[in-house]
């Protein structure tokens, strides 16, 4: 999944870099916990991050992702656990002693310093020679395309330019690990999308390890190689974007990452590699058996809206057949046109509601469904996931 | 009448109001003082001449104008007493302001870093001395610093000294009094700037490799300079003209300009010289103000 690109000389030569032993992760978080008063913000998180990886910490606000990031930067000390960077425990090291840099949510640019001095700040602290600092600053300015703005103060820059200065300043020291705290939250949508692409390119080109914190699942899916979903201080699932979306481990994750239709199961029957599940809202559904047997008594059947197809009559299918298809009859209860796709809410005859997302692949869709139209919503057993409730 | 007009009038008046205030309560009295400073002492009522009598006719007023002169300023410039008084005032003000900054900055910094709910409490503690009259508080210090006062009793009880120390009527006592009285004026503007500073800025500096002392000198302190400037001015200017504290707590061997002024005015009944001294003091005090203003303007222009 990760693109194998050689790390540039610039990064490999970074001063004081700790080289993890072969096969060892760059960063290992072991049972880290942090409590504020009685609130357990981070509750026993363990995680390995490989060198060169683009990792996203995703979760709702208050889930502990920012606290975890602040512990990596050194602004908070964990109450329990270890943080190993290149094999060395840095959990109690002060922020200025770590070969880690952070890009702050509101950039935290020094208002009294020019763009050049902001970028040079970390280099001066590293006691680099004056000429080296000048070269490195020029390099960074070119990297983030800020040429000509070196003498400006932060309040003379646009939001996008400030974001670039913050990035250049954090990259200038060539950290082993770059932390990004909601780096794009302050940008408008279009600029955010462009910047996402630029950040990914930059990360690949520099071969640096990035950890980004975001509450925006689309942002995490777009940029990251792997995503760690956090909830109530714990890592709920760590997986690549596709696995996270198609094979969420719990009902909570499935609902947090994207939209999903959920039907509570009432009975189940094993039939080879299929499960025949009775649901209250959607009748009997045929589902591919999950790899782990469903042990829990309470579980639900989940299906993503774009995997639900709509048609006037529906495909022919026999319930007992190997290639059985789930057919749900209903009427269109709501239509939501979103440009690229249209989301239909179908009120099922069995009582439930199923959402279907259909791509608008033709400009003039004379055949579009209308409100209250009788319809068949259908999907294959492979498109369903069984989730513990 | 349009809505715009209704609002325009009071708004315009509000803009004029400070100027009206300045003219009535600063420029007009300043004109009186300036005129007296150019007059001559006389044993009369009022104790100077010429006196402008607007009913006496044009020629008399012209003659009165002709009688004005800058003799008093020459006297002040040539007499050591005044020069020394100015120098002493400036020395005391510079020293006291430096002490205030050294003591006030850590307090303001500590306050700004307190948990939010404790900050209001700390603020009240800083302001609470104002509930008691200034004079009473200075007299309380006399009580503490006198020969058998609280300070000497404590020092003797702790066996830190074997004899009572002379505190009262010394410069030390005066500095204690000044620093004590002006501390809130230093703390409050500093606290205001430090409290609204984004904590992420210090974190960013630390993240970029700055140890704590560099974080302070490279980020916190430069960003608090507007507060430092305001605090320094709020303390420096009134301390230069301070009269009560040196009069009650310091010795009488060297006087500050406020005391000299008082002597000229009430003891020597020499209103013209006292007025000239006041005018010179004003000019001396305007200099740092102009400097501060120019610095601020330059900062604005840089943006």
Least confident of A265-279, B144-158, B180-194, B216-230: A265-279
Q: State how far Cα A297 lies from the chain centre.
A: 30
- Contact residues, chain B, for A75 at CB < 8 Å: 203, 206-207
For residue A168, give how far its alpha carbon lies from the nearest alpha carbon of chain B (Å): 12
Decide if B250 contacts B232 (C-beta within 8 A). no
Band of pLDDT at residue B276, cut at 50, 70 and 90: very high
For residue B121, give how far its alpha carbon lies from the nearest alpha carbon of chain A (Å): 21
Answer whether residue B11 shows pLDDT above 80: no
For chain B, state the CA radius of gyration: 25
Which pLDDT score is estimated for A320?
Answer: 55
For residue B300, give how far its alpha carbon lies from the nearest alpha carbon of chain A (Å): 12
Tally Cβ neighbours within 10 Å of residue A18.
13
Answer whether residue A5 shows pLDDT above 50: no
For residue A109, give how far its alpha carbon lies from the nearest alpha carbon of chain B (Å): 7
Q: Considering only CA atoms, which of A277, A297, A279, A295 is closest in space to residue A287? A: A277
Which pLDDT score is estimated for A186?
Answer: 82
Is A121 in Cβ contact with B200 (below 8 Å)? no
Interface residues on A facing B, Cβ-Cβ cutoff 8 A: 73-75, 94-96, 100-102, 104-106, 108-112, 121-122, 125-126, 153, 155-156, 169, 173
Band of pLDDT at residue B6, cut at 50, 70 and 90: low
| Residue in the structure block whose two tokens are 């200025």 | A96
Among A75, A121, A156, select the one facing B208 at the smallest CB separation: A121
Residues whose CB falls within 8 Å of the CB of residue A118, separated by 6 or more in sequence, listed in order:
A109, A110, A154, A165, A169
Instruction: Report the SS3 class of residue B172.
Output: helix
Question: From CA A308, how far away is CA A356, in angstroms rounded?
Answer: 5
Closest-CA residue of chain B to A74:
B207
State the average pLDDT over residues B179-206: 95
Higher per-residue pLDDT: B105 or A296: B105
Is A96 in Cβ contact with B209 (below 8 Å)? yes
Closest-CA residue of chain A to B199:
A108
- Residue B77: left (phi > 0), alpha (psi -120 to 50), or beta? alpha
Q: What is the token pair recorded at B288? A: 């740092």
- Contact residues, chain B, for A105 at CB < 8 Å: 200
State the average pLDDT over residues A77-101: 93
pLDDT digits (tens, 9 = 90+) for A229-277: 999 999 999 999 999 999 998 899 999 998 999 998 888 887 777 888 8
Question: From CA B233, how far away is CA A230, in angstroms rounded?
Answer: 52
State the average pLDDT over residues B149-164: 91
- Residue B159: left (phi > 0), alpha (psi -120 to 50), or beta? left
- 3-class SS letters over chain B: CCHHHHHHHHHHHHHHHHHHHHHHHHHHHHHHHHHHHCCEECCCCCCEECCCCCCCCHHHHHHHHHHCCCHHHHHHHHCHHHHHHHHHHHHHHHHHHHHHHHHHHHHHHHHHHCCHHHHHHHHHHHHHHHHCCHHHHHHHHHHHHCCCCHHHHHHHHCCCCCCCCCCCCCHHHHHHHHHHHHHHHHHHHHHHHHHCCCHHHHHHHHHCCCCHHHHHHHHHHHHCHHHHHHHHHHHHHHHHCCCHHHHHHCCCCCCCHHHHHHHHHHHCCCHHHHHHHHHHHHHHHHHHHHHHHHHHHHHHHHC
**Alpha helices per DSSP H over chain A:** 9-12, 65-73, 115-125, 130-143, 159-171, 189-206, 217-223, 241-246, 251-256
State the average pLDDT over residues B117-123: 92
ipTM for the predicted complex: 0.83
Strand-pair partners of A279: A265, A283
Which pLDDT score is estimated for B66?
Answer: 82
Question: From CA B80, how far away is CA B75, in angstroms rounded?
Answer: 10
Answer whether residue A19 shows pLDDT above 60: no
Is A125 in Cβ contact with B209 (below 8 Å)? yes
Instruction: Report the SS3 class of residue A47.
Output: strand
Which pLDDT score is estimated for A2?
Answer: 39
State the average pLDDT over residues B180-191: 95
For residue B297, give how far its alpha carbon lies from the nearest alpha carbon of chain A (Å): 15
Closest-CA residue of chain B to A113:
B219
Among B201, B211, B302, select the one facing A96 at the smallest CB separation: B211
Is A105 in Cβ contact with B200 (below 8 Å)? yes
State the average pLDDT over residues B92-106: 97
- Contact residues, chain B, for A94 at CB < 8 Å: 206, 211
Total residues found in chain B within this entry: 303
For residue A14, give how far its alpha carbon lies from the nearest alpha carbon of chain B (Å): 14
Is B218 in Cβ contact with A153 (below 8 Å)? no
Among A100, A110, A156, select the one facing B219 at the smallest CB separation: A110
Which pLDDT score is estimated for A22?
Answer: 58
Band of pLDDT at residue A12, cut at 50, 70 and 90: very low
Question: From CA B186, how far away is CA B189, in angstroms rounded?
Answer: 6
Q: State how far Cα B173 lies from the chain centre.
A: 18
- Contact residues, chain A, for B206 at CB < 8 Å: 74-75, 94-96
Q: Of all residues in chain B, what percent carry a pLDDT higher than 90? A: 54
State the average pLDDT over residues B177-190: 95
Question: From CA A300, how far away is CA A285, in angstroms rounded?
Answer: 11
Crossing angle of the two packed helices B271-302 and B225-240, in degrees rounded to 10? 170
Question: From CA B275, how far away is CA B264, in angstroms rounded?
Answer: 9
Decide if A268 contacts A278 (C-beta within 8 A). yes
Band of pLDDT at residue B104, cut at 50, 70 and 90: very high
Q: Considering only CA atoms, which of B116, B246, B129 is closest in space to residue B187? A: B129
Least confident of A96-100, A324-328, B276-280: A324-328
Among B208, B218, B302, select the one facing A101 at the smallest CB separation: B208
Instruction: Tell me which DSSP letter residue B264 carries.
Output: I
Decide if B223 contacts A111 (C-beta within 8 A). yes
Is A153 in Cβ contact with B207 (below 8 Å)? no
Answer whether residue B219 shows pLDDT above 90: yes
Which pLDDT score is estimated for A322?
Answer: 57
Among B209, B211, B223, select the one facing A111 at the smallest CB separation: B223
Question: From CA A119, how far away is CA A150, in angstroms rounded?
Answer: 9
pLDDT digits (tens, 9 = 90+) for A152-195: 999 999 999 999 999 999 999 999 999 999 998 888 888 888 89
Is B198 in Cβ contact with A106 (below 8 Å)? yes
Answer whether residue A9 shows pLDDT above 60: no
Interface residues on B facing A, Cβ-Cβ cutoff 8 A: 198, 200-201, 203-211, 214, 218-219, 222-223, 302-303
Higher per-residue pLDDT: B66 or A125: A125
State the average pLDDT over residues A289-297: 69
Band of pLDDT at residue A1, cut at 50, 70 and 90: very low
For residue A227, give how far its alpha carbon lies from the nearest alpha carbon of chain B (Å): 25
Question: From CA A163, how far away is CA A281, in angstroms rounded?
Answer: 48
Q: What is the mean pLDDT of chain B?
A: 89
Is B219 in Cβ contact with A153 (below 8 Å)? no
DSSP secondary structure string, A308-346? -EEESS-----TTSTT--EEEEEEEEEEEE-SSEEEEEE
Residues whose CB falls within 8 Å of the CB of residue B139, separated by 6 or more in sequence, listed in order:
B248
Among A108, A122, A125, select the one facing B201 at the smallest CB separation: A108
Among B200, B201, B210, select the one facing A125 at the smallest CB separation: B210
For residue A122, give how far its alpha carbon lies from the nearest alpha carbon of chain B (Å): 5
pLDDT digits (tens, 9 = 90+) for B13-35: 777 888 888 889 989 999 999 99
- Contact residues, chain B, for A100 at CB < 8 Å: 207
Answer whether residue B1 shows pLDDT above 50: no
First-to-final CA distance of chain B? 41
In a 10 Å sphere around its CB, with 0-12 CB exposed, 13-18 middle and 19+ buried, how is residue B303 labelled? exposed
What are the two backbone dihedrals, phi and then psi, of residue A97, each rounded to the nearest 5 degrees? -95, 0
For residue B207, give how far its alpha carbon lies from the nearest alpha carbon of chain A (Å): 5
Among B200, B210, B222, select the one facing A96 at the smallest CB separation: B210
Residues whose CB falls within 8 Å of the CB of residue B277, separated by 6 or more in sequence, listed in order:
B76, B82, B257, B260, B261, B264
pLDDT digits (tens, 9 = 90+) for A319-367: 556 567 888 999 999 999 998 899 999 999 988 899 999 998 888 877 7
Among A100, A153, A169, select the one facing B303 at the smallest CB separation: A153
Decide if A213 contacts A54 (C-beta within 8 A). no
Least confident of A23-27, A87-91, B166-170, B198-202: A23-27
- Contact residues, chain A, for B222 at CB < 8 Å: 112
Q: Which of A93, A103, A111 would you mutate first to test chain B, the one with the most B CBs within 10 A?
A: A111
Is B207 in Cβ contact with A73 (below 8 Å)? yes
pLDDT digits (tens, 9 = 90+) for B224-275: 999 999 999 999 999 998 999 999 998 887 889 999 999 888 888 889 999 9
Answer whether residue B299 shows pLDDT above 80: no
Higher per-residue pLDDT: A109 or A368: A109
For chain A, state the CA radius of gyration: 25
State the average pLDDT over residues B73-88: 89
- Contact residues, chain B, for A99 at CB < 8 Å: none
Total residues found in chain A within this entry: 389
Q: What is the token pair recorded at A254? A: 């499935």
For residue A247, give how far its alpha carbon lies from the nearest alpha carbon of chain B (Å): 37
First-to-final CA distance of chain A? 31
| Separation in Å, CA B254 to CA A34, B89, B90, B91, B282 | 62, 10, 13, 12, 21
For residue B204, give how far its alpha carbon lies from the nearest alpha carbon of chain A (Å): 7
Q: What is the mean pLDDT of chain A?
A: 87
DSSP secondary structure string, A115-146? HHHHHHHHHHHTT--HHHHHHHHHHHHHHTT-
**Alpha helices per DSSP H over B39-115:** 58-67, 71-78, 80-113
Among A95, A112, A156, select the one facing B207 at the smallest CB separation: A95
Instruction: Tell me which DSSP letter residue A97 carries.
Output: G
């Amino acid at each position: 999944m990760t693109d194998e690109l050689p790390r540039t000389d610039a990064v490999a030569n970074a001063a004081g870099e700790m080289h993890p032993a072969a096969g060892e992760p760059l960063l290992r978080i072991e049972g880290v916990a942090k409590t504020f008063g009685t609130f357990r913000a981070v509750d026993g998180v363990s995680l390995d991050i490989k060198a060169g990886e683009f990792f996203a910490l995703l979760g709702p606000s208050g889930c502990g992702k920012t606290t975890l990031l602040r512990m990596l930067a050194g602004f908070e000390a964990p109450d329990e656990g270890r943080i190993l960077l290149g094999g060395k425990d840095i959990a109690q090291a002060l922020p200025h002693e770590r070969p880690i840099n952070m890009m702050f949510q509101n950039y935290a640019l020094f208002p009294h310093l020019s763009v050049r001095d902001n970028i040079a700040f970390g280099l001066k602290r590293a006691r680099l020679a004056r000429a080296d600092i000048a070269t490195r600053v020029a390099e960074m300015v070119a990297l983030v395309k800020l040429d000509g703005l070196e003498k400006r103060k932060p309040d003379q820059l646009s939001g996008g330019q400030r974001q670039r200065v913050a990035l250049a300043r954090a990259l200038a020291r060539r950290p082993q690990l770059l932390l990004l705290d909601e780096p794009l939250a302050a940008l408008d949508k279009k600029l955010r999308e462009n910047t996402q692409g630029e950040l990914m390119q930059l990360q690949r080109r520099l071969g640096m390890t990035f950890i980004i914190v975001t509450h925006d699942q689309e942002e995490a899916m777009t940029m990251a190689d792997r995503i760690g979903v956090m909830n109530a201080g714990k890592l709920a699932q760590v997986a690549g974007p596709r696995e996270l979306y198609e094979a969420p481990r719990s009902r909570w994750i499935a609902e947090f990452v994207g939209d999903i239709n959920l039907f509570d199961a009432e009975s189940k029957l094993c039939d080879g590699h299929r499960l025949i599940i009775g649901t209250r809202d959607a009748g009997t559904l045929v589902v591919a058996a999950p790899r782990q047997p469903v042990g829990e008594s309470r579980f639900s059947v989940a299906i993503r809206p774009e995997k639900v197809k709509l048609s006037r009559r529906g495909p022919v299918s026999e319930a007992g057949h190997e290639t059985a298809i789930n057919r749900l009859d209903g009427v269109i209860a709501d239509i939501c046109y979103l440009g690229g796709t249209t989301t239909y809410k179908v009120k099922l005859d069995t009582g439930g509601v199923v959402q279907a997302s259909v791509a608008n692949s033709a400009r003039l869709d004379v055949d579009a469904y209308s409100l209250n139209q009788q319809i068949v919503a259908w999907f294959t057993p492979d498109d369903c996931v069984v989730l513990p409730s | 009448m349009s809505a715009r007009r209704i609002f325009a009038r009071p708004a315009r008046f509000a803009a004029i109001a400070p100027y009206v205030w300045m003219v009535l309560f600063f420029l007009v009295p300043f004109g009186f003082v300036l005129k007296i400073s150019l007059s001559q002492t006389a044993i009369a009522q009022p104790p100077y001449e010429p006196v402008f009598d607007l009913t006496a006719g044009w020629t008399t007023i012209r003659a009165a104008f002709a009688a004005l002169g800058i003799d008093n300023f020459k006297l002040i410039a040539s007499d050591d007493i005044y020069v020394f008084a100015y120098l002493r005032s400036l020395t005391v003000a510079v020293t006291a302001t430096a002490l205030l900054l050294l003591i006030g900055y850590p307090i303001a910094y500590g306050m700004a870093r307190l948990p939010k709910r404790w900050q209001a409490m700390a603020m009240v503690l800083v302001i609470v001395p104002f509930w008691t009259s200034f004079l009473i508080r200075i007299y309380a210090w006399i009580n503490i610093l006198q020969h058998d006062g609280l300070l000497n009793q404590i020092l003797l009880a702790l066996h830190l000294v074997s004899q009572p120390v002379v505190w009262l009527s010394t410069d030390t006592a005066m500095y204690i009094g000044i620093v004590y009285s002006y501390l809130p004026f230093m703390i409050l503007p500093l606290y205001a700037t430090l409290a609204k500073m984004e904590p992420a800025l210090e974190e960013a500096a630390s993240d970029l490799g700055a140890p704590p002392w560099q974080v302070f000198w490279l980020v916190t302190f430069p960003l608090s300079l507007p507060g430092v400037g305001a605090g320094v001015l709020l303390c420096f200017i009134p301390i230069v003209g301070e009269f009560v504290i040196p009069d009650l707590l310091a010795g009488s061997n060297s006087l500050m300009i406020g005391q000299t002024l008082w002597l000229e005015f009430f003891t020597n009944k020499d209103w013209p010289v006292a007025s000239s001294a006041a005018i010179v003091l004003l000019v001396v005090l305007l200099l740092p103000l102009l400097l501060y203003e120019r610095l601020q303007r330059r900062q604005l222009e840089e943006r």
